[in-house]
Copies of this chain bind each other. A is one copy, B any other.
Amino acid sequence: MSAPELALIGLHGLPIIQPGDDLAALIAEALGRAGLTLHDGDVLAVTSKIISKAEGRYAALASVTPGDEALRLAAVTGKDPRMVELVLRESVAVVRSAPNVLVVRHRLGFVSASAGIDQSNVDGGEDTVLLLPLDPDASARRLREQLGERLGILPAIVVSDSHGRPFRLGNVGVAIGAAGLPALRDLRGQPDLFGRPLKISMQGLADEIASAANLVSGEGGEGLPVVLLRGLLFDATDGRATDLLRPPEQDLFRN
């Protein structure tokens, strides 16, 4: 049988992550238990959820006092005003509000539902929610360096989240943090099969990695929040997930 061009290996045996946990240590241990040694060019896709948990990004709804704008949007959306207040604190703009819909531009730059704040897989009861990491590009860089110190190889890191999309149904994995790889890969100047320059010039590499990893980690549980991708060809660069943000003034999809 042909060797796979690309292998995705879910990392089994990670504990449920707690605030303050040393993710690099836990990942290194789990790799060791699985008999896995990092290779040059390996990529680790890590869900934002376990990074948020390790960073203690919890909020208790009971401690949140909604302001006027949160109360107004809660009435529009039918959502918990305290949750709406947290969404607003994590956002720079409301893109759309409607019954059961609150789409915002997150302070990290991307557009998503409810600022990525999540109640699922949070072990503090209904009152506790989990915010996205403070700076997932920095979290990725830190994890890369810490794993490099422990294991002698600097893996590329993609911090993944799952987003809905305009025009298309279904959530897909996207990168909200990246280190050690070109999150946005420039293909300009590469010739096609017949020697002409390629028309498609930029590849959302880190987003495709997050989507691929999502096929293994699944949408739901925290079962396999770290996926090793082996065999991907890329130039090691210092790209970051913010490279993937389309500036609002360059939105080509609406008049």
Interface residues of chain A, those whose CB is within 8 Å of chain B, are 1-10, 12, 16, 34-36, 95-98, 101, 103, 110-111, 113, 118-123, 126, 162, 164-174, 184-185, 187, 190-194, 196-200, 202-205, 207-209, 211-212, 214-216, 219-224, 227, 229-230, 232, 243-246, 251-255
B232 touches A215 (CB 8 A): yes
Which residue from B96, B207, B215 sits with its C-beta under 8 Å from A6?
B215
| Chain B residue with Cβ nearest A196 | B120
Please state the number of chain copies in the assembly.
2
6 tightest CB-CB pairs across the interface, nearest first? Answer: A170-B204, A212-B212, A4-B7, A211-B211, A166-B253, A208-B211
Bound Cα distance from A203 to B121, whole angstroms: 17
Which residues in B have their C-beta under 8 angstroms from that of A222? 193
Which residue from B7, B164, B172, B232 sits with its C-beta under 8 Å from A7?
B7
Bound Cα distance from A112 to B88, whole angstroms: 31
A171 touches B202 (CB 8 A): yes
A8 touches B9 (CB 8 A): no
Given contacts A208-B215, A219-B198, A254-B254, contact A203 B171 (CB under 8 A): yes
Bound Cα distance from A203 to B172, whole angstroms: 6
Given contacts A2-B36, A4-B8, contact A221 B202 (CB under 8 A): no
Which residues in B have their C-beta under 8 angstroms from that of A36? 1-2
Choose among A184, A192, A227 the residue with the greatest number of B CB atoms under 10 Å from its CB: A192
B190 touches A252 (CB 8 A): no
Could you jot down 27 A-B contacts, CB within 8 Å?
A1-B36, A5-B10, A5-B216, A6-B8, A6-B212, A95-B254, A96-B253, A98-B252, A111-B253, A119-B199, A120-B192, A120-B199, A126-B196, A162-B203, A166-B167, A166-B246, A172-B207, A172-B211, A173-B208, A190-B220, A191-B220, A193-B221, A200-B220, A203-B214, A205-B215, A208-B215, A211-B211
